[in-house]
Amino acid sequence: MTKHKNIIILSTLLLLIIYVVGIVGILGESAAWYASLTSYNLLFVAVLLAITHGKFDRRDVYILLFSAIIGFGFEAIGVNTGWIFGSYEYGETLGIKLLDVSVVIGLNWAILTYCTMVIATKTSSNRWIKSLLGALLMVGLDVLIEPVAIKLDFWSWGLHNPPPLQNFIAWFIIAYLIQLVSFTIKPEFKNNFAVVVFLVLVVFFTILNFGLNTSI
């Protein structure tokens, strides 16, 4: 077994432990405390993805910075105007804010873009198709995240609960454009651990939706 495979196996075990503990904690008596660790969890996942990715070249860095900055930028405009996603605001659970947006949201855009690009790379060589699939995967995950996020005070939609359709349409358009530009910069991403991360997120938020009795 190669060193890289060992790293992926170890990273997978660590990821599963963290998310199982997260499920138990959030569905238990200390939900608010466990939810407050979300920012640190995102950082931890980012580190694991970086380790399993291996050597980064300039294009990798450009794509990650691009997705983080563009995603955060649209969120900032959206929160302060209500024009893009609808009228919403970030709560205190995700920690420090910049321009009324939790700072880790940029990292979240980068992580989701990276993971979905890896999955999309496995399905097609056409950048338009890969971008479409990547964007659909991101929106699909957002559908699962939204009810949990509202329950745990990641963000709130005011009078809109569940979130307006506008939110998901905007997510798709922005995600598609980010993916299209990213696949133009670099045609493919390879990191099997990124697939594991995405699947774990799907299972995690599905379980929390049922456990928290959300209106998914």
Residue 2's pLDDT band, with cuts at 50, 70 and 90, is: confident
Closest residue by Cα to residue 8 from 194, 204, 198, 189: 194
Q: Is 109 domain-assigned?
A: yes
Q: Is 184 domain-assigned?
A: yes
Q: Is 27 domain-assigned?
A: yes
CB-neighbour burial class of residue 37 (10 A; exposed 0-12, middle 13-18, buried 19+): middle
How far lies 6's CA from each of 51, 64, 68, 204, in Å? Answer: 12, 25, 29, 24
Q: How do residues 130-180 score in pLDDT, each as one tens digit?
A: 999 999 999 999 999 999 999 999 999 977 678 899 999 999 999 999 999
Where do we find the tokens 């070249």? 57
Q: What percent of the chain has pLDDT over 90?
A: 84
**pTM for the complete prediction?**
0.94
Q: Is 24 domain-assigned?
A: yes
Q: Is 200 domain-assigned?
A: yes
Q: Is 183 domain-assigned?
A: yes
Residue 126 sits in which domain range? 3-211
pLDDT of res. 36: 93
The pLDDT mean for the chain works out to: 93
Number of folded domains in the chain? 1
Angle between helices 165-185 and 104-121 (to 10 degrees): 60
Q: Is 216 domain-assigned?
A: no
Residue 74's pLDDT band, with cuts at 50, 70 and 90, is: very high
Q: How many CB atoms lie within 10 A of CB 159?
A: 7
